[in-house]
Amino acid sequence: MDDIDAMFSDMLQEMDLLTQSLGEEAESAPLPKPPTIPGPQEMNFSVGFTDFNASLHDLEDNDLDALMADLVADISATEEKFATEKDTLKGSAPVAPIPSQPPSNLSFPGSSSTLRQATSSNSIAATPPPPTSKPSKEELEEQIKADKIKLALEKLKEAKVKKLVVKVEIMDGSSKTLMVDERQTVRDVIDNLFEKTHCDCNVDWSVCETNPDLQTERGFEDHENLVEPLSTWTRDTENKVLFHEKKDKYEVFRNPQNFYMWKKDKKSLKDMKEKDKEQLLEENFCGASVIVPDLEGILYLKEDGKKSWKQRYFLLRASGLYYSPKGKTKASRDLVCLVQFDNVNVYYCKEYRIKYKAPTDHCFILKHSQIQKESQYIRYLCCDDEWTMTLWVTGIRIAKYGKQLYDNYKAAVRKAAGSATWASRSIQASSSASTPSPTPKARAANGHAPQPAVETKGSSNQTSFPPPPASMETLPPPPPDPMLPPPPPAPPSTNKVNQFPPPPQFPQSSFPPPPMDDLPPPPPPPPEDSELPPDFLPPPPPIFSSCGGEALPPPPPDPIASLPPPPALQNFASAGGAPPPPPPPPPPPAPAPAASKPAGSVRKVAPPPPKRTTPQLAAPSGGDLMSELMTAMQKKRTQ
Amino acid sequence: MAAWDLTVTVEDLGPDAPPLQISVTSDLHIGGVILKLVEQTNLKRDWSDHALWWEQKQQWLLRTGWTLDKCGVHADARLIFTPQHKPLRLGLPNGATLKMRACFSSPVFRTVMGICRVLNLRHPEELSLLRPVEEKKKKKDKDSSEELYDLTDVPLTAGSVQALYNGMPAHFADSPKTEAVYKMLSVSLPSPAPEAIAKLYRPASIVDKTHIHTRWLDSSRSLMQQGIQENDKLGLRFKYYTFHDMDPKYDAVRLTQLYEQARWAILLEDIDCTEEEMMLFGALQYHIGKQSLSQDMVSSCQGMDDLESALKSLEVKMVGDGNSTDMLDNMTAPELNDHLKIFRPKRLTLKGYKQYWCKFQETSISYYKSKEDRYGEPIQQLNLKGCEVAPDVNVAGQKFCIKLLIPAPEGMNEIYLRCENEKQYSQWMAACKLASKGLTLLDSSYQSEVQNIQTFLSMQRSSSAAPTSQTDESINTHSLVSPRYQKKYKPKQLTPRILEAYQNIAQLSLTSAILKFLQIWQALPDFGISYFMVRFKGSRKDEVLGIANNRLIRIDLGVGDVVKTWRYSNMRQWNVNWDIRQVAIEFDGNINIAFGCVNADCKVVHEYIGGYIFMSTRAQQQSDTLNEELFHKLTGGHEAL
Mean pLDDT throughout B276-302? Answer: 75
Q: Which one of A149, A332, A635 makes the best mutation probe of the B interface by having the most chain B beta carbons within 10 Å?
A: A332
Q: Which of A251-255, A412-416, B66-70, B344-348 has the lowest mean pLDDT?
A: B344-348
Q: Which of A608, A348, A498, A472 is nearest to A48 (CA)?
A: A498
Position A456 scores a pLDDT of 37
Residue B316, CB-side half-sphere exposure with 13 Å CA sphere: 13
What percent of chain A clears pLDDT 90, i.e. is strictly above it? 23
Which amino acid, residue A550? E
Which of B385, B412, B523 is the closest to A318 by Cβ?
B523
**Is residue B363 a contact partner of residue B438, using CB atoms and an 8 Å limit?**
yes
Cβ contact (<8 Å) for A283 and B550? yes
Q: Provide the residue count of chain B.
A: 641
For residue A494, pLDDT over 90 is answered with no
- Select the more confidently predicted residue: B411 or A634: B411
Q: How many CB atoms lie within 10 A of CB B507?
A: 18
Predicted interface score ipTM higher than 0.85: no
Condensed to tens digits (0 to 9), the pLDDT of residues B389-400 reads 888 887 777 888
CB B484 to CB A4 under 8 A? no
Please give the average per-residue pLDDT across A214-233, as a whole number.
Answer: 91
Task: Identify whether the C-beta of residue A13 lies closer than 8 Å to the C-beta of residue A128.
Answer: yes
CA distance A268 to A94: 68
Number of other CB atoms surrounding residue A245 within 10 Å: 13
**Chain-chain contact of A337 with B504 (C-beta, under 8 angstroms):** no
- List, as ranges, residues 59-98 from A with C-beta within 8 Å of B: 94, 96-97
Helix (H) / strand (E) containing B399: strand B399-408
Phi-psi region of B564 (alpha: psi -120 to 50; beta: other; left: phi over 0): beta
Shortest Cα distance, chain A CAs vs residue B379, angstroms: 11
Task: Please check whether residue A342 touches B, CB under 8 A.
Answer: yes
Residue A28 scores a pLDDT above 80: no
What's the CA gap between A538 and A532, in Å, rounded? 9
Contacts of A234 in chain B (CB under 8 A): 409
Residue in chain B closest to A618 (alpha carbons) equals B383
> What is the count of residue pairs from A and B with beta carbons less than 8 Å apart?
156
Residues of A in Cβ contact (< 8 Å) with B412: 368, 371, 375, 377
Q: Cβ contacts of residue A198 below 8 Å, gap of 6+?
A: A471, A473
Q: Identity (one letter) of the amino acid at B11? A: E
The three-point CA angle A461-A26-A208 to 5° equals: 55
Question: CA nearest A340 in B: which residue?
Answer: B276
The three-state secondary structure class of B51 is strand
Residue in A with minimal Cα distance to B550: A283
Whether residue A287 lies within 8 A of chain B, CB to CB, comes out as: yes
CB contact under 8 A, A335 and B332: no
> Distance from CA of residue B209 to its chain's centroid?
18
Q: Which residues of A touch B319 (CB under 8 A)?
A: 94, 142, 145-146
* Among A30-34, A40-44, A617-621, B505-509, the range of highest mean pLDDT: B505-509
Contacts of residue B381 in chain A, CB cutoff 8 Å? 612, 614, 616
Closest of B213, B214, B90 to residue B152, by C-alpha = B90
Q: Give CA–CA dist B413/B429, Å, rounded.
A: 17
B204: helix, strand or coil: coil
Q: Is A617 on the interface with B (CB under 8 A)?
A: yes
B360 three-state secondary structure = strand
User: How many angstroms away from the CA of B214 is the closest CA of chain A?
Assistant: 24
Of the candidates B274, B311, B381, the beta carbon closest to that of A97 is on B311
| CB contact residues (below 8 A), chain A span 482-521, against chain B | none
For B621-632, what is the mean pLDDT? Answer: 77
For residue B148, the model assigns a pLDDT of 76
Residues of A in contact with B409 (CB under 8 A): 232-234, 370-373, 615
Asked if B412 lies within 8 A of A377 by C-beta distance, the reply is yes
Amino acid present at A503: P
3-state secondary structure of B566: strand
Q: A627–B280: do the CB atoms touch at under 8 Å?
A: no
- What is the pLDDT confidence band of residue A542, given thresholds at 50, 70 and 90? very low
> Which DSSP symbol is given to A509?
G
Q: Taking CB atoms and an 8 Å limit, are A616 and B277 in contact across chains?
A: no
The region of weakest confidence among A153-162, B41-50, B126-135, B179-188 is A153-162
3-state SS, residue B493? helix
Q: Do B333 and A279 touch (CB under 8 A)?
A: no
pLDDT of residue B201: 83
- Tens digits of residue pLDDT in A596-611: 444 333 333 344 444 4
B178 to chain A nearest CA, in Å? 32
Bridge partners of A310? A301
The answer to whether the CB atoms of A622 and B332 lie below 8 A apart is no
Q: What are phi and psi of A187, to 5 degrees?
A: -60, -45
Please state, rounded to an integer, the average pLDDT across all residues of chain A: 65
Task: Point out the least confidently predicted range of A224-228, A364-368, A622-626, B107-111.
Answer: A622-626
**Mean pLDDT score of chain B, rounded to an integer?**
82
Are B104 and B84 spatial neighbours (Cβ–Cβ below 8 Å)? yes
Contacts of residue B310 in chain A, CB cutoff 8 Å?
A: 626
The 10s digit of each residue's pLDDT in A262-284 is 888 778 788 888 888 998 898 89
Q: Distance (Å, rounded) from C-alpha B318 to C-alpha A147?
A: 12
pLDDT tens-digit profile of B555-593?
Answer: 988 777 888 999 998 899 888 888 888 999 999 888 899
Nearest-Cα residue of chain B relative to residue A279: B569
Which residue of chain A comes nearest to B410, CA vs CA? A373
pLDDT in tens, A339-381: 999 889 999 999 999 999 999 999 999 999 888 888 888 999 9
**pLDDT tens digit sequence for A278-333:** 988 988 998 888 999 999 999 999 987 788 999 999 999 999 999 998 888 888 88
- Which residue in chain A has the smallest CA separation from B280? A319
The rounded distance, in Å, linking the Cα atoms of A242 and A596 is: 11
At residue A524 the predicted structure's pLDDT band, cuts being 50, 70 and 90, is very low
**pLDDT in the model for residue A253:** 95
Ranking A365-369, B87-91, B360-364, B542-546 by mean pLDDT, the lowest is B360-364
Residue A290 near chain B (CB below 8 Å): yes
DSSP secondary structure, A189-232, as one string: HHHHHHHHH-----TTEEEEEEETTTTEEEEPPTTSBSHHHHHT
pTM: 0.70
Q: Do A614 and B380 touch (CB under 8 A)?
A: yes
Q: Which residue type, as a one-letter code, is found at position A527?
A: P
| % chain A with pLDDT above 70 | 44
Are B276 and A340 inside 8 Å of each other by CB?
A: yes
- State whether the Cα torsion A131-A133-A137-A140 is positive or negative: positive
Q: What SS3 class is residue A311?
A: strand
Query: Cβ of A47: how many Cβ atoms within 10 Å?
Result: 24
Neighbours of A101 (CB within 10 A): 10
**Cα B607 vs. chain centroid, distance in angstroms?**
23
Left if phi > 0, otherwise alpha if psi is -120 to 50, otherwise beta: which for A39?
left
B409 to A371: CB separation less than 8 angstroms, yes or no: yes
Helical axes A451-460 vs A112-126, angle rounded to 10°: 90
Q: Say if the Cβ atoms of B274 and A322 lie within 8 Å.
A: yes
**Taking CA atoms, what residue in A is nearest to B273?**
A332
Identify which of A597, A547, A555 has the alpha carbon closest to the alpha carbon of residue A576. Answer: A555
Taking an 8 Å cut-off on Cβ atoms, the answer to whether A288 and B246 are in contact is yes
* Chain B positions in Cβ-Cβ contact with residue A318 (cut-off 8 Å): 520, 523-524
* d(C-alpha B147, C-alpha B181), whole Å: 12
In tens, the pLDDT along B447-477 reads: 888 888 887 777 766 554 444 444 434 567 8
Interchain CB distance below 8 Å, A622 and B519: no
**Contact at 8 Å (CB) between A396 and A317?**
no
Distance, in angstroms, between B396 CA and closest chain A CA?
Answer: 29
Does the structure show a pLDDT above 50 at A111? no
Per-residue confidence at B282, pLDDT binned at 50, 70, 90?
Answer: very high
CB-CB neighbors (< 8 A) of B383 in chain A: 614-617
CB B371 within 8 A of CB B338: no
Beta strands B59-61; B530-536: pairing state = unpaired
Please tell me the distance from the alpha carbon of residue B67 to that of residue B29, in angstroms, as a whole number.
4
Rounded CA gap, A299 and A403, in Å? Answer: 26
How does residue B623 score in pLDDT terms, banded at 50, 70 and 90? low
Query: Which chain A residues in 210-249 lie under 8 Å from chain B, judged by CB atoms?
Result: 232-234
